[in-house]
Amino acid sequence: MEKIDTPVRSRKLLLNVIKRQEMDPKPGIDGGPRGDDLYLWDCTIIGPPGTPWEGGNFQLTMVIPHDYPFRPPDVRFKSRVFHPNIYPDGRICASILDLEWSPALAQPLLMLLSIQSILDSPILEAPANQEAANLYMKYRKQYNRKVRAICAATHSTTEDQLSSENGGMHPSCSAIRRFFMRCLGCCESG
C-alpha cells in the first residue's frame, strides 16, 4: 500500500470539502479559499434567526495547517464581535478548535456551524471576554442591545460590499467559484 504524505492528503480532503460545499451549501455559513491558497479561507457566518445575532454578517479567516486534519485550523473573526467566547482580536475560545480537536471533526463548514451555534449559546466557564460574559450573565437585555447594534453595523458593511463588489455575490462565494473555475481549467487542459 502506497503511503500518501500529509500535505497531499490534506489537499485532497480540502478539495473534497469544497466540492461538497458547492453541491450542498449550508444556510448561514460560507467559506472558501482566498485566491489560489487552499490553506487560507475567507468565511462568513450569518447570525442565527430568532437571536440577538440575527441580521449580522460576520467575516472570518481560517488558516488551515498543512498537516490538516491532524491539527485544527486557526479561525478568527475579522468582523467586530462582542461575545463571551471571542477574544478582542477575533480568536475563538472553543474546545473544538483546541483541546477537543479530532481529525473526525475535519470539516471546515461543520466548524463554522459550531461557531455559529456558540453565538447564541456561549460557554461561560472560562470566557475569553470577561466584560461580555459579565454583561451576558447579569444584564442580558443590555448585552442583547449591544449585540444587535454590532450586528446592524456588520449588516450594513456587508450590504455595501455586496452592492459594489463581485456582482452582488458574497466575497467568499465568488472566491469558491473562481477557485473551481481555475481547477477545472487546469484539469481540462491536462
Closest CA to 115 of 74, 151, 170: 74
Q: In this predicted model, what pLDDT tens digit does every residue of 20-75 receive, in sequence order?
A: 888 888 889 999 999 989 999 999 999 999 999 998 999 999 999 988 888 888 99
- Residue 1 domain-assigned (yes or no): no
Q: In this predicted model, what pLDDT tens digit does every residue of 112-140 receive, in sequence order?
A: 988 999 999 999 988 999 999 999 999 99
Tell me the CATH number at 115: 3.10.110.10
Amino acid at 140: R
Distance separating alpha carbons of residues 50 and 123, to the nearest angstrom:
19
- Residue 124 domain-assigned (yes or no): yes
- Which residues span the domain enclosing 15? 6-177
Domain count, the chain: 1
- Residue 79 domain-assigned (yes or no): yes
Residue 188 clears pLDDT 70, i.e. is over it: no
Catalytic pick from 43, 93, 151, 173?
93
Q: For 24, list phi and psi in degrees, rounded to 5.
A: -140, 75
pLDDT of residue 187: 43
Average pLDDT, the chain: 80
DSSP reduced 3-state for 16: helix
pLDDT of residue 83: 97
Active site residue 93: yes
Contact 92/75 with Cβ under 8 angstroms? yes
- Residue 183 domain-assigned (yes or no): no
- Residue 155 domain-assigned (yes or no): yes
